[in-house]
Amino acid sequence: MVALRSVRPLVLSAGGAVLLVGLLVGVLLPSAHAQSQRADDVFYGRLGGGLSDFTSDLSSWRPTHPFGGGKFTRGAGPPFVFVGEVGYQFSPHWALGIGVQGGNYPVEVYPEIEGISDSYRYTPRVLGRYTIGGGAVAPYIDLGVHATLGGDRPPTRIGAGPSVGGGVDIRLGRAASLYVESRVNLTVPSGAVDGSDSGTRFDMTGQLLGLGLKVHLTAPTPPRIIRLEGPDTLDTGTSVTFAATVNEEAADRPLDYQWDFGDGATATGRTATHAYDRPGRYVVSVSARNRAGTAEASTAVVAEPPPEPPHIATARAAPEPAAAGAAVQFSAAATGGNPIAYEWRFGDGASAEAASPTHTYDTPGTYTARLRVSNPDGDDTRTVTVRVARPAGADTSASGAGPSPTDSTTTPEPTAPPADTSAQERWGIVVASMSEAGQAALVARRYREQLPGSLRVEVRGAESDRGVRRHRVVVGPFEETEAAQQVLRERAEMLPSGAWLLRLE
């Protein structure tokens, strides 16, 4: 029962209450633990003091209440302790410290132990401390081992045992905080503190309630932004990533990053992704902050509308079929970014640069007119087939004696252009046109593998209107346009939709 009476005052002491309050605050503040704002990787020092507490074998040290009994009223001097500690903060939550607790544990001058009158004891210790949470007010608990010595007439034995404490750390600034704590040191053997081996098997020296100051002994290192990476230009609606390189190995933790994209949007983290909805010039800024200071950097970015290559919506010719010598109206409409340039090649060597030109075919036959539209972002092509017939009432005889009776009552059929007596006219199907000869050769080889062996595929060079050398991949040659048109129809799944007929020289 003596041992139970000795432990009971400890459980009911103010120190135990401080420890319980600290634990409750830590449980009730899980969010603070998730986002720590406390420093790490620093050396620190602690210095404080408070009221001493003592539980032992002697009758005057076993009051029924911690604030009653002779140890506070009839002892040698006031009950006080002083505490000193140096340590290293590994992280915002974990630390290791080496310190000493010394003080006066007054009794009525040891009346039951003859010859012992010194009531001062000294307790060096090693502690591991865990801080719960990371806000301005953070509870903590610690556990370690200690040795207790003191008493000089005659000296008592040296005792040792566990040391348990807890409290609350209140941050005052970047490098200082105030703490309030309570602690008990369980000491064995029983006679190490009071010289008496009777009664309990251990003694307890503690700090009933104390407070002190904690300061950092190493200077904090502020952040420094080494590089800010991101694009100079981007397309609206397209997400891009910005990244900040900071002296993370040297700067004190934790580091907080804040991004401002210049359009009202913000983000956090060392990297950030953003998309601009409207064109314009924006200033992207980032700040890195820790307890030692803030670093800032910015860069300019230009958001532009995305490329809009042209696309031919419609391309037609009217009338169709047309009569030789009559005007044919070509018309086209294209979408895409302005300006859009139109270029028609009518298939008879003539061309025009307009969206809706007019052209006259002098010779009956079937012609493939090719339209090309372009803007700074790309181009598109389309072909239109125009059948040109002899005009009504034209003389088809070699002598020119006039039309036959049937010619005036029937619709003339389109005929091929008359044969050239000096050279046979030939036609080819252009399936690709590019500036690089090597690319044209690769395309030609692919078509040779896909098309039947009876169809010839070759690369022909030509100068464009702008003086640029082009390399055309041509299927053919064909002696008649009708033969080329038949291949276009029969091999439509193998040939591109923009393939067009070309008169070969």
pLDDT, tens digit only, all 505 positions of the chain: 333 333 334 433 444 554 455 445 444 444 333 344 566 678 999 999 999 887 766 544 444 444 444 555 555 678 889 999 999 988 888 999 999 999 887 754 455 555 566 778 899 999 999 999 878 899 999 999 999 887 665 556 788 999 999 999 999 887 889 999 999 999 888 777 777 666 567 778 889 899 999 998 877 788 999 999 999 999 898 899 999 999 988 887 788 999 999 999 999 999 999 999 999 999 999 999 987 889 999 999 999 988 889 999 899 999 888 888 889 999 999 988 888 999 999 998 899 999 999 999 988 889 999 999 999 889 999 999 999 988 755 544 433 433 333 333 333 344 444 444 334 568 888 888 888 888 888 888 888 888 877 788 888 887 765 667 788 889 988 888 888 888 888 888 888 877 778 888 6
* Nearest to 9, CA basis, from 72, 77, 100: 72
Beta-carbon contacts of 391 under 8 Å, excluding residues fewer than 6 positions away, are 323, 324, 325, 326
Helix (H) or strand (E) holding 33: helix 30-34
Report whether the peptide linkage leading into residue 30 is cis, meaning its omega lies within 30 degrees of zero. Answer: no
Helix (H, G, I), strand (E, B) or coil at 467: coil
- Token pair listed for 254: 């934790």
Helix (H) or strand (E) holding 21: helix 14-28
Helix (H) or strand (E) holding 165: strand 159-171
Within 13 Å of residue 409, how many CA atoms lie on the same side as its CB?
Answer: 3
Residue given tokens 């319980």 in the structure block: 20
Longest dimension (CA), the chain: 160
Q: What span, in angstroms and rounded, lies between the C-alpha atoms of 308 and 320? A: 32
* Nearest to 78, CA basis, from 119, 116, 18, 121: 119
Q: What span, in angstroms and rounded, lies between the C-alpha atoms of 220 and 205? A: 36
Helix (H) or strand (E) holding 167: strand 159-171
Q: What span, in angstroms and rounded, lies between the C-alpha atoms of 103 and 193? A: 13
Report yes or no: 388 and 363 within 8 Å, Cβ to Cβ.
yes
Helix (H, G, I), strand (E, B) or coil at 2: helix
Q: What CA–CA distances, in Å, run from 409 to 181, 322, 323, 404, 491?
A: 119, 18, 16, 9, 37
Residue given tokens 């400890």 in the structure block: 10
Q: What CA–CA distances, in Å, run from 423 to 21, 209, 350, 371?
A: 108, 117, 20, 28
Burial 98-127 (b: 16+ CB within 10 A, else e): ebebbbbbbbbebebbeebebbebebebeb
Residue given tokens 């207790």 in the structure block: 148
